[in-house]
Structure 1
Amino acid sequence: MRTVLFASACAAAIIAVTSPANAQDAPPQPTAPSSADNPAPQDAANSDIVVTATRRKERLQDVPLSITAFSQEQLTEKGIVGFEGVARETPGVVLNRPTQNFNNFTVRGIATNGYNANLQSSVAVYIDELPVSTIGNTTVVDPNLFDVERVEFLRGPQGTLFGSGSLSGALRILTKSPDLKHFATSGLADLGLTGSDSFR
Structure 2
Amino acid sequence: MTTEYEPRDMRARNKQATREAIGAAALRLALERGPDGLASVRVRDIAEAAGVAPRTYNNYFSSREEAVCVFLNDQARRLGAALRARPGGESLGEAIAAAVVDVFADPEPDRAGLSMIMSAPALRGEALKAFAMAEEPLADAIAERAGVDRRALSPAVTAAAVAGAVRAAAAHWLAGPDSAPFAEVLREALGTAVSPRPSGLAHP
Q: Same fold (TM over 0.5)?
A: no
Larger radius of gyration: 1
Looking at secondary structure, tell me which structure has more helix per residue.
2
Looking at secondary structure, tell me which structure has more strand per residue.
1
TM-score if structure 2 supplies the norm length? 0.20
